[in-house]
Structure 1
Amino acid sequence: MGPVLDLVKDMELALGQSETDLSPWFREDFIWDGNAGCGRKTGLREFEQGWYLPFRDAFGDRRFDTTIWLEDGDWAACVGTCHATHAGDFMGIPATGRPLEVRYIDFWQIKEGRIAYNKVNVDLAGVAAQLGWDVFDGKGWDRLDPPVTRLWRGKHGQGAAANPLEVVQSMEAALQRSDVDVSEFFHEDFIWDANYGCGLKHGLAEFESGWYEPFRAHFGNRDFVSPHFMQTGDWAACFGACFATLERDFMGIKATGQKIRIPYIDFWRIEGTKIAENIVRVDFPSIVEQLGGDVFGGKGWGSEMPVDLSAKPAA
């Protein structure tokens, strides 16, 4: 663990302790770049007012359980779950005191000893589901998952024999080409673990029938653009967006060939020369938003301030 990861872990501890002054960890002009429903905050003040304070008010007794950490150059990344209680209003739902799991994925870029950019996906749709609200109204692709309890794959090998980035970048190129057979890149029993609305696929066959085939059918002219990749040990990760056209009706919205942007964040664990585990967040609410809808019904935390889309991460 190096200084970049030390800083990020110390920051996470500060968030868990409800520190009021976050300036030791964040630059004043840092960018918090969240998924639909969470929003994009430019500067520390916007982050505090538009995310940190509402999050603290809605979720009490917070405990951050971060299970995967990556560090590569001036970047760090993680996957985890915030265990909390529903202590305040959340998207119009009054406090219930229920225990909740708030799943997150983060990338941080560090400049001059503080966080300059934070790419993040927080599964707010999953939180709403735990409180009885399906924001996708039964139209999420997790409905394609088999309705059975299945065991987690677990680790079968001794880590990656191949370079993880080479494996995942070759796989992404195959998706770009619309290769039908992707068994070259995935173990037959690999796990595809996504956010609410996308599902959990156990094995290559479930992934193909419950995600890859519907994705190809709905979204044509696909162009995957991943601006940042990183790797640590047998893990690789990236964030980016797939630019495509809508070829089939999506969540009740009629397809007319609209151009859309599909944001994603991926973590992959490699065993040998193939992917054994893929933790992924695909921003379905963002697609609906681009098509004129709002799965959160105006209650998301992303519209409380004007968004400065011209702001860029630190060079």
Structure 2
Amino acid sequence: MSDFQSAKDLVRRHHEAIARADSETIAAALAKYTAPDWHWRGMHPFHEQFGAETVAATFWGPFISAMTRLQRRPDIFMAGLNELDGLKSVWVVSMGHLMGLFDRPWLGIRPSGKIAMMRYAEFDRVEAGRIVETAMFFDIPQVMIQAGQNPFPPQTGAYLVQPGPVTHEGLMHGPQDPAEGRATIAAINAMLDDMRTTDRSKGGEGLAEELARTWNDDMIWWGPAGIGATYTIPRYVRQHSGPFRETLSKGYQFNGHICRMAEGHFGGFFGWPNLTVVNSGGFMGLPASPNPADMRVVDLYREEGGKLTENWVFIDVLNFLNMQGLDVLARMEGM
């Protein structure tokens, strides 16, 4: 527990340093708590970067310049051991929104002069008192939609500025009961095992039966902009998981995860990429593409009664579409 607490405190100081920085001081703020060869993963068009100076110049500096009075509004904060490396590495996870006044252009998106909220999920690996590795997932299309520049056809789920857990217990700044974390990771792994062994020939009815084994019926799937959120198993089957399986099953390849962990009633994972798929037509209302495309994904979960009941999902949608030949950011200039 003491290792988790020191790692949590370090990441909170890191976040506070970012909050106090401006575009001129952000590089020094990032360097304060990160290793010199810090490995940072970000969404398209940022991808992988190394070192505080590069991360500041590539992502944080321009973003802070665009968003006046930027603040972080976390809904989940937790730490745990990565079960994928034999419980050797400590990771701290934060999820919520980055909020500011969208006053200057960013990535070709025209500013609205209004509040903009961008969903984020951040995995930080802490070692020897430094952040040595970060996966920073954020929902750029959410900013586009809020600024009135929606690049997508109508989505199957609901577009929302998404709330945190209904129990409001996601901010775990202090120690938690280890038994709760073990129950959560067991629920996550049961769901993953079910996905690997399911009979996909049964269609939507079989999918609903499968989900009921590891999910509560009042599940909420908080998906990314372009797909949206959906509530209850039947609507999730109709509005996301069914279309996903129907249109992305060709060439489906699971590439694995980099980190999978849990603390308390919350847990999750990320991959880089998790999946490689071929869009056979219709997914996100888009035409078919022959190009295999990667899905970099974060899934964060809330466990209740031994099953999963809330799921926050982040997908690098812009990279997924770019690999199919659709450069959404380039189109922003003409909107």
Check whether TM > 0.5.
yes
Which digits, 9 at most, give the CA deviation of each residue in 1:250-289, with x for residues without a partner? Answer: 4534233x32221110111110111111111122222111
Listed as ranges, the matches of 1:191-202 within 5 Å are: 191-202=220-231
Aligned counterpart in structure 2 of residue 14 of structure 1, from 13, 17, 25: 17
Q: Unmatched 5+ residue regions in structure 2? A: 82-89, 169-178, 200-206
Q: Which amino acid aligns with 1:53?
A: G
Which one of the candidate residues 190, 193, 199 is aligned to 2:219? Answer: 190
Structure 2 partner of 1:276: 309
Higher share in helix: 2
Q: In 1, distance between residues paired with 2:237 and 2:318?
A: 22
* Deviation by residue 1:158-184 (Cα, 9 ceiling, x = unmatched): x96971111111211222334522111
Q: Residues 174 and 235 from structure 1, CA distance in 2 versus in 1: closer, same or farther, beyond 3 angstroms?
A: same
> Structure 1 residues 64, 39: closer, same or farther in 2, change over 3 A?
same
Q: Report the TM-score when normalising by structure 2.
A: 0.80
Structure 1 segments (4+ residues) deviating >6 Å: none
User: 1:25: how far off?
Assistant: 0.9
Q: Which residues of 2 match residues 166-177 of structure 1 at below 5 A?
A: 166-177=186-197
Matched residue SS, 2:258: strand
CA separation in 1, counterparts of 2:147 and 2:133? 31
Choose which of 132, 157, 161 in structure 2 pairs with 1:145.
157
Note if contact 2:293-2:321 (Cα within 8 Å) is conserved in structure 1: no
The Cα shift of 1:154 comes to 3.2
Picking from 70, 76, 88, the partner of 2:78 is 70
Change (3 A) 1:177 1:242: farther
The one of 131, 142, 154 equivalent to 2:147 is: 131
> Identity, % of aligned pairs?
20
Counterpart residue type for residue 59 of structure 2: W
- Give the gaps of 5 or more residues in structure 1: 301-315
Give the number of the structure with larger relative contact order, counting CA–CA contacts within 8 Å between residues 6 or more apart.
1
Partner deviation per Cα, 1:33-85 (whole Å, 9 max, x = no partner): 01223432222221010011101101111121111111114210011112210
Q: Are the counterparts in 2 of residues 217 and 248 from structure 1 also a CA contact under 8 Å? A: no
- Aligned equivalent of 2:240, options 194, 199, 211: 211
Matched, 1:106 2:122: yes
- Given the alignment, which residue of 131, 135, 138 partners 1:122? 138
**Deviation, structure 1 residue 100:** 1.1
CA distance in 2, matches of 1:46, 1:262: 24
Equivalent residues in 2 for 1:1-315, closer than 5 Å: 2-18=5-21, 20=25, 21=28, 22-73=30-81, 74-136=90-152, 138=153, 143-145=155-157, 154-155=166-167, 163-179=183-199, 180=207, 181=209, 182-220=211-249, 221-224=251-254, 225-240=256-271, 241-250=274-283, 251-256=285-290, 258-297=291-330
Structure 1 residue 227: Cα displacement: 2.3
Number of equivalenced pairs: 293
Question: In structure 2, do the counterparts of structure 1 residues 46 and 168 end up closer, same or farther at CA, with 3 Å as the change threshold?
Answer: same
Instruction: Tell me whether 229-238 or 288-297 shows the greater mean CA deviation.
Output: 288-297
One-letter amino acid of the structure 2 residue matched with residue 71 of structure 1: A
TM, length-normalised to structure 1: 0.84
Normalized per residue, which structure has more strand? 1
Range 159-168 or range 172-181, more displaced? 159-168
